[in-house]
Amino acid sequence: MVPNIKYYVVTVASIFLALGIGIFMGFMLDAQGLVSSQKDDIVNQLEAKFDELKQQSENTKQDMELIKAKNEQINAFLQDAYPLLVKDALAGRNIAIVGVNGDYNYSDVVEGLELAGAKVGSVTNIKGSISEDEDAIRAIYKEIVGVDFEGELYDMISSELVSTLSRGEKSQVIDRLVQEGYVAMSGSYEVAVDSIVLTGGSKVENEQSAKLSKSLVDKIKEMGKMAAGIERSDVQISQIEDYKSYRISSVDNVETALGKTSLVLVLRGISGNYGVKDTATGVYPELDSLMENQGGL
């Protein structure tokens, strides 16, 4: 019987197929071993990197704790040394404080300035509702002055308030606004001031802070008085950029002893924008210029 050629073809093909499958399986097994080895290497590298980053994080945390502790020590020292550092630095100066929204408390600034020898004659806070009650406030002005105020509401209030502070003369308009609750005031307007410190920073965005501050600064400069802007380091909405655009000096951490010292130096004539925020041009004023030009604190 003659063998069927198809049988031989199938047999040979089967042999080669078996050989191919064997070779492929062997390759796959080797590849799996290689992948497994590479996988182990990658895992080991990742674990090593994680341990390294963890150590770096721990080192950074320790460094931050050391820096924090040092800062607390410095602040404690400055707090204790502040009365000595600024003693009589502002002797003979008459200063007023004006707030444009009343969102934050700056009563400690009054104490800081008085420790430096300044007389803080008054603290005024313009309430945040004045723009909502524009018609009523304009009516008060017309009732007292006898004519309408032809201009922005903020300009009217700024003009009356700054004129009062600069001249040491009472304003019937401001007195009435105090009575009606649009303006809060403590102290006396009867002593003319040489400098006006504006307190800024707000809890929410509002148009009044910027517009009123700009109007106040313009009027202060027109009256030939010194203006400075301050805020706490923890205010939610900063106003330092506004102060910089008005070209007045500012301090953004005035609740600290360092910030209070910076404010005293600013009022002594060292211009700049000082504090701990990105908007600051320096942490504190350069003391060399003060020593050279004014003989120290």
The tens digit of pLDDT for each residue in 95-132 reads: 999 998 878 889 999 999 999 999 999 999 998 778 88
What whole-number distance in Å separates Cα of residue 255 and Cα of residue 253? 6
Q: For 2-16, 69-83, 129-143, 216-230, which range has the lowest pLDDT when averaged over its residues?
A: 2-16
SS3 content of the chain, % helix, strand, coil (to 5): 55, 10, 30
Considering all CA atoms of the chain, what is the largest pairwise distance in Å, rounded to the nearest integer?
A: 137
1 pLDDT band, cuts 50/70/90, is very low
- Which pLDDT score is estimated for 4? 56
SS3 189: coil
The pTM for the full model equals 0.76
Specify whether domain 91-294 bears CATH 3.30.365.10: no
Q: Which is higher by pLDDT, 291 or 213?
A: 213
pLDDT, residue 221, reads 97
Lowest mean pLDDT among 34-38, 163-167, 176-180, 246-250: 34-38
What DSSP state is assigned to residue 280?
-
Task: Indicate whether 75 pLDDT > 60.
Answer: yes
Neighbours of 287 (CB within 10 A): 12
What is the chain's mean pLDDT, rounded? 85
The per-residue pLDDT for range 10-54, each reduced to its tens digit, is: 565 666 565 666 665 665 555 555 556 666 677 677 777 777 888
What does the domain layout of the chain look like in residue ranges? Answer: 1-86, 91-294
Q: Which residue has the tokens 């040489």?
A: 194
Report the candidate in 279, 143, 291 with the shortest Cα–Cα distance to residue 200.
Answer: 279
pLDDT at 130 (0 to 100): 85
Q: What is the mean pLDDT of residues 164-191?
A: 93
